[in-house]
Amino acid sequence: MKRALTPGTFDPITVGHLDVISRAAQLVDEVVVAVAVSAKKKPLFSLEERVALVEEATRDLPNVRVEPFDELLVDFARRMDAQAVVKGLRAITDFEYEFQMTALNYQLDKELETLFIMSTPQHMYLSSSIVREIASLGGDVSQFVSPCVEEALRRRYAELGKTGR
Ligand code: PNS
């Protein structure tokens, strides 16, 4: 059984993430979307919310499941019996950070392969932080995220607006 992890913070999941997840799902038997706690990033959505949104957004992909994790990626991969990590690579700005993480993960576990899928051109510019910014300013994010995520963003920023945060 070939199993790959697609790790990330997914705050929130975008169509760019979905593109990488669905393309990875065509290459292996099972993809585990690994949703990191990423407490240092102070995510807009809680871990439970992010997992639920990824589950909803990937509902039509039968060989994709979603798991939260709060440990080293290499340890989680071992626990999940995954042989590879698959990540999306956007413009050159991603490269240095991804290069560092790949090199460190390789040092930590030489059995775990990291593979990159190039973003499709229309997703090159897309990021969760850009989506949050557009949504926080009342912009239309429907082309960047699934309807469930669009609704969650609308509700979250309405709540934050009410409390003045
Ligand atoms: O979507 P992000 O925030 O860019 O994802 C980063 C993530 C979650 C993939 C990365 O921070 C990670 O792998 N965290 C788990 C902890 C870990 O293994 N850190 C060492 C990486 S060298």
Query: CA end-to-end span of the chain, whole Å?
Result: 47
Q: 35 CA to middle of ligand 1, Å?
A: 9
H helices of 86-127, in order, are 93-108
Identify the bridge partners of residue 33 per DSSP, sorted by sequence position. Answer: 6, 66
pLDDT at 91: 79
Q: 52 CA to middle of ligand 1, Å?
A: 19
Q: 2 CA to middle of ligand 1, Å?
A: 22
Q: What's the rounded Cα separation, in Å, for the pair 155 and 105?
A: 37
Q: How high is the mean pLDDT of the chain?
A: 96
| Structural contact between residues 32 and 140, judged by C-beta atoms closer than 8 angstroms | no
Identify the residues whose C-beta falls under 6 Å from ligand 1: 7-9, 36, 38, 72-73, 101, 104-105
Return the ∠ at Cα 60 (arms to 19 and 150), rounded to 5°.
Answer: 65
Q: Does domain 3-125 have CATH number 3.40.50.620?
A: yes
Q: Which of 60, 117, 56, 126 is nearest to 85 (CA)?
A: 117
Q: Hey, whose CA ends up nearest to atom 16 of ligand 1?
A: 72
Q: Percentage of residues in the chain with pLDDT exceeding 70? A: 98
Mean pLDDT value across residues 67-96? 94
pTM over 0.85: yes
Residue to probe by mutation, ligand 1, list 20, 35, 73, most atoms within 8 Å of CB: 73
Q: Mind listing the pLDDT tens digit for each residue in 31-74?
A: 999 999 999 999 999 999 999 999 999 999 999 999 999 999 99
Domain assignments of the chain as residue spans, ordered by start: 3-125
